[in-house]
Structure 1
């Protein structure tokens, strides 16, 4: 078998429906939508969740309480083990330097440093949050947290 002999399995490739392209397309007159009715119209069909005039489920269920998800602070998480690999002794770890070294994307509410992984370097941290165990590891090695 050669590369020019390769073909997709029979029946696996279908041509796209070319709606509204006249009678030669095989979908002339009604364009494959049947006759009249709501679904035959442009923009036809019902909205998601519409139940034919019956009160929709989303409106029937009681809504109580408060959810903080909308207002909650979301932090990007970095582990000390990853920082160990990308930073040298004496450097400063901040939002900008973490973004430069592709450890975070920098599109959330801030940065939180966690203690996972081995850590042996003396660094200065200027971040939003640090876990207690990470802070202990940093201070143990003579690092600084601002």
Structure 2
């Protein structure tokens, strides 16, 4: 038999520490919590994240800059001025713009921005339009269509 073979019987439990029962027990009077202060009081622990009244880290962080939006929508953006070179009454979609070489990468659904001027009527099908872009396309006798979703 070795010392590491001497283990408690299966299902046995260790006695709980009885504090505050006199000096002989080793946990008398202050029960191992010291003399005074927040950590010696009853109901002692503070909540997780508490920093003594200072604004805690989990409340400071979102106020700082450069925190990205979670699940942010990304669009393939194009300006109205880029559509001016297309033929009149043509249908404009993301795939047709990629084929024409006006847009080089598919970064998500198409969004039309209102920078520039347009003089030809176009049938534009995009996921989103700015109000200026919609006004300029419709002023040129074109149409703005949102996909059915």
**TM-score, structure 2 normalization:** 0.50
Taking a change above 3 Å as real, the CA distance of residues 116 and 73 of structure 1, as seen in their structure-2 partners, is same
Partner of 2:121, secondary structure, is coil
Q: What is the number of residues matched between the two proteins?
A: 85
**Structure 1 residue 91: deviation in Å?**
0.1
**Structure 1 residue 101: deviation in Å?**
1.7
**Structure 1 residue 134: deviation in Å?**
1.0
Larger radius of gyration between Structure 1 and Structure 2: 2
Q: Give distance in 2, aligned partners of 1:80 and 1:134.
A: 6
Q: Give distance in 1, aligned partners of 2:136 and 2:74.
A: 24
Segments of structure 2 that go 5 or more residues without pairing to the other structure are 1-55
Check if 1:101 corresponds to 2:100.
yes
Q: Give distance in 2, aligned partners of 1:135 and 1:142.
A: 11
CA-based RMSD:
2.2
Aligned position for 1:80: 80
Aligned position for 1:123: 122
Trace 1:1-146 onto structure 2 (pairs within 5 A).
Answer: 62-63=57-58, 64-65=61-62, 69-85=69-85, 87-146=86-145
